[in-house]
Amino acid sequence: MPVLALNPRYAWAIANRGLVHRLAGRHGPARRDIEQALVIAPERAEYLLQRAMLISKVDGVRAAADAWRSASQCSMDSSDEYGLLAAFLAALSAGASDEANTTFQRFISQHPNSNTTTDAVQYLQELAGCPRVPQDNVDRYRRTLANRLIELRA
């Protein structure tokens, strides 16, 4: 029996279904799932990050500025890996190179696990493909994340 049949308010499962829809290019169902997950867990950085990425892909990073701001403000003062990842991607999408670099260093210094690091690579790849995203340091960030994954798998 599917998990959502057992618990239709399981935000993690709903958000992950939305992630699958987003990656498959099914933006309408992705938006519905992500928004539903956010109704259940409105402060969850992972879900705010997903919403910002979806808006960036569909409408462009400028249209997603408020969503990126919400995602980045969620966990700026904590050590939440997804909050730091969101803050990094928000700064990168806005072209704030210094802030992006500082936040990326904070993210890496948390020694994110392989799942979070893999998600970071995926989000960075998606963001790099969005129109009007500054490409300046994207390759450097990708290399650092790839090296982190190699360290984790060694």
Q: Judge whether 90 and 71 are in contact, CB under 8 Å.
A: yes
Judging by beta carbons within 10 Å of its beta carbon (0-12, 13-18, 19+), is residue 138 exposed, middle or buried? middle
Could you give all domains of the chain from N- to C-terminal order, each with its CATH number?
43-153 (1.25.40)
Q: Judge whether 75 and 57 are in contact, CB under 8 Å.
A: no
Quote the mean pLDDT of the chain: 87
- Tell me the pLDDT tens digit for each residue of 72-88: 887 555 567 888 888 89
Task: Give the pLDDT mean for 15-41.
Answer: 95
Q: Is the pLDDT of residue 110 over 90?
A: no
- Provide the pLDDT confidence category of residue 152 given band limits of 50, 70 and 90: confident
Q: Report pTM.
A: 0.85
